[in-house]
Amino acid sequence: MQQHSIALLFALNLFIFALLAAPARAAEPPAYRNVALKSAPSHLIIPAGAPKRAAKVDVLVHFKGGADSLAKAFLEAKLDGVLIVVHWNGLSRVYTKPFEDNPNLLEEILDEARNAARAEGVLTKDGDWNKLRTSCFSAGWASIRHLLKDKKWFDRIDTILAADSIYAGFVNNDATTRIVNPDNMKDFRRFAELAAQGKKTFIVTHSQERTPTYASTRECAEDLIQHLKLNRE
């Protein structure tokens, strides 16, 4: 037993010595930088492969979701530019009210993120955003719908990606007929028209989840399909 203990102790010492003597492995560089912004509960995500000192950089503003989860999705999608994630806890109302209270809020977010991108070496000192793209999940659609009411933002937004994320009310609030309220969809419809002409990009996904008191993402997607007289493939 004593010989066994000595042998075990000797082996353990050899193992510890091997660990101490092993060359240190360089830590892998982070895949992205996460810069917290103050204009809203938001983060600027800068991929490791982002441009360096560029005069123009594309920016995607996403509404609703965790910054790190969205960062990983952004990297996996191999999208150009940088990402801004804006997240409030709550349903669609919390994604509308901040922009009602402060019509300049998105501009302030973009300005702060631009300054951060310059400080982080992504943009030159006079660099600016190129294409403005937007995306949303769940209640985040409400921010985009509100922004589209403003001609400045309607014209400036190049892309919308709605990931199971466009809802609407019913005509006369009648959930028995389930007719999607066109007033709630009119700006999405206009954007879809331009996308059909190749002037914008509009990507819509939906689930099959039925919502009892308001139009579901599937019903809103069908509204756009019918408005454009398209067929599913």
In this structure, the chain runs to a length of 233
SS3 59: strand
C-alpha dihedral over 48, 54, 56, 57, to 10 degrees?
0
Q: What is the DSSP string of 174-200?
A: -TTTT-B-HHHHHHHHHHHHHHHTTSS
pLDDT, one tens digit per residue, over 112-164 is 999 999 999 999 999 999 999 999 999 999 999 999 999 999 999 999 999 99
pTM here is 0.86
pLDDT, one tens digit per residue, over 37-70 is 999 999 999 999 999 999 999 999 999 999 999 9
Say how many C-beta atoms besides its own lie within 10 A of residue 91's C-beta. Answer: 12
Q: Is the per-residue pLDDT at 3 higher than 60?
A: no
